[in-house]
Structure 1
Amino acid sequence: MQALWHLICDQGRKATECNPVLRQYLETRVHAHAGFEQALAANLAQELSAQASNVDLNAWFLSLIKANPAIATGAAADIQHLVAVNPACPDELTAFLSFRGIQAVQAYRLAHTLWQEGDIQSAVLLQNWAANHWSIDIHPAARLGIRLFVDHGIGLVIGETAVVEDDVSLWHGVTLGSTLNESGDRHPKIRRGALLCAGSTVLGNIEVGERAIVAANAVVLKPVLAGVVVAGTPAKVVSNVPAVLETLKPQSQGQ
């Protein structure tokens, strides 16, 4: 994580040299902070300040991040993964400062920590502040992995008992919801490396298997096997995942 922070700072200095108009912005968002954790807390606080007037979000968020190192570790993994897989993201600085998918997922990580600690009201408040600001609504009880690619993110909804494993890609307008015919564990389980394309909907306590692809606007009502492509309403298998994509194996948990 320290190497990532040094890289972000270096990219910030180069951005300032390229466009001096951004000097004060980059000073406030990057160079004024002692490390990645401090900058992460401050940037999330700045983004959500209009939603929570008179609340010292910076100190609150930093205390959560320091007490729960997995928050910053997850943020760093998401940033590095985004730069690796998204040609629209030029560098780590841009991912950190500009991509709503990165920012909203880190706000979720804070809310999830609060939920696990039993501070349900604060967790739901933070969930709603984030949803109002980024148009991405992730329930704080949902379980999300790392190296997530939340592309654009606008309209993404993830329900309370959903599970999203490592290396999953979620595009804008994706819904991981319930059928309203279930109680308790009622939301989808998205396994490692799966890709859910724009506008797709997965309903109920069903599984989308590893490296499966759900096509744009598909409605998934039944489990999806690993390594297949499903499309349509209701979704049906249309092919296996292309071989070129099968060669892009998810990273191991230890990397």
Structure 2
Amino acid sequence: SVQKVKKQPFGRLVLCLSGLSKALALFLFKKRGGMAMFKKLREDVEVVFEQDPAARSSIEVILTYSGLHAIWAHRVAHALFNRKLLFLARSISQISRFFTGIEIHPGAKIGRKFFIDHGMGVVIGETCEIGDNVTIYQGVTLGGTGKEKGKRHPTIKDNVLIATGAKVLGSITIGENSKIGGGSVVLKEVPPNSTVVGIPGRVVIQDGKRINKDLNHCDLPDPVADRLREMQNELDELKKELEEIKGERIKFNEHSNL
């Protein structure tokens, strides 16, 4: 792995930067925490090559990938947040948002190999919990549904993919190995191994099997036609009542003439 990095353009510079980041992590987060932090930072680079075929070199990824910058800034901000350095943590978060267009609250818990592709417009709330090997695209919101305190943002389990523009809202859980389609709005729990699409989001595939739903357009409800049918029935009843009233009036007139 190290030899491969050395052979790439600016490979030695990458290793030097890695060493500096390791030293910074050790200084900020003590030995054990620093080693874990450095491992996560290195994995954040590795996952870019796994997920993005456009990534060509480590130096390119480190210097130009805004998603990586946002994740690294969050890892530092989250460590400070856990140490009750709230203002400093939030300041780093806001600076990262300004430069990357990605807003991640320092309180959010994010696992290993988290990948944000393109990234612009991504929002991740304070009580959001994200597992390992999760990928999200631009415009994704992992947000709340109100002003309540406590756990109010989603929990994203391992190996989940959330496509462009999707919104996952509220204290719900997205199960392992699930996929959220682009533009979907998810408001309910998603079981593991599922594919969700639509507004509101609905499960269309679970455990590799398509969920049977009658999508025949001829059988879809038509509220306008239903209302017109009700009005026609009411009109028919009124006509019937009117005919009965006319019949009774004719009989009454006949009796009066007698």
Fold agreement, TM-score > 0.5 = yes
* Shift of residue 35, structure 1, vs aligned partner: 5.0
| Residue 227 of structure 1: aligned partner | 193
Which residue, 36, 48, 53 being the options, matches 2:18? 36
Say yes or no: does 1:77 pair with 2:43. yes
Q: Please tell me the residue identity of whatever aligns with 1:36.
A: S
Distance 1:120 1:101, change over 3 A: same
Which residue identity is paired with 1:11? Q
Instruction: Report which of the two structures shows the higher radius of gyration computed on alpha carbons.
Output: 2
1: CA distance, partners of 2:24 / 2:19: 12
Residue from 27, 32, 38 that aligns with 1:63: 27
The code of the aligned residue for 2:7 comes to D
Q: Which residue of 2 aligns with 1:117?
A: 83
Q: 1:89 to 1:159 in 2, by over 3 A?
A: same
Q: CA-atom RMSD, angstroms?
A: 2.4
Do the aligned residues in 1 keep the contact of 2:25 with 2:35 (CA within 8 Å)?
no
Kept in 2, the 8 Å contact 1:128–1:137? The answer is yes
Number of paired residues?
A: 207
Cα 1:241/1:84, change in 2 over 3 Å: farther
Q: Aligned-pair distance for 1:62?
A: 7.5
Structure 1 contact 213–241 (Cα < 8 Å) conserved: no
**Counterpart mapping for 1:76-115 below 5 A:** 76-115=42-81
Q: Counterpart of 2:128?
A: 162
Shift of 1:148: 1.4
SS of 1:96's equivalent in the other structure is: helix
Tell me what 1:12 maps to: 9
Show structure 2 runs of 5+ residues with no match.
210-258
> What TM-score results when the alignment is normalised by the length of structure 1?
0.74
Contact 2:166 2:182 in 1 (8 A): yes
Provide the residue aligned with 2:232 in structure 1. Answer: none
How far apart are 1:167 and its partner, in Å?
0.3
Q: Percent identity?
A: 32
> Could you say what secondary structure the match of 2:196 adopts?
strand
1:91-240 correspondence runs (5 A): 91-180=57-146, 182-240=148-206
Secondary structure in 2 matching 1:69: helix
Measured after TM superposition, the shift of residue 116 of structure 1 is 0.7
TM-score (norm 2): 0.73
Gaps of at least 5 residues in structure 1 are 15-26, 42-58, 244-255
* Higher RCO structure (Cα 8 Å, ≥6 apart): 1
State the match for 2:230 in structure 1.
Answer: none
Q: Which amino acid letter does the alignment assign opposite residue 27 of structure 2? A: S
The 8 Å contact of residues 25 and 38 in structure 2, kept in 1 or not, is answered as no
Residues 116, 172 of structure 1: alpha-carbon distance in 2 compared, 3 angstrom cutoff: same
**AA of the residue aligned to 2:202:** K
CA shift in 2, pair 1:65/1:134, >3 Å? farther
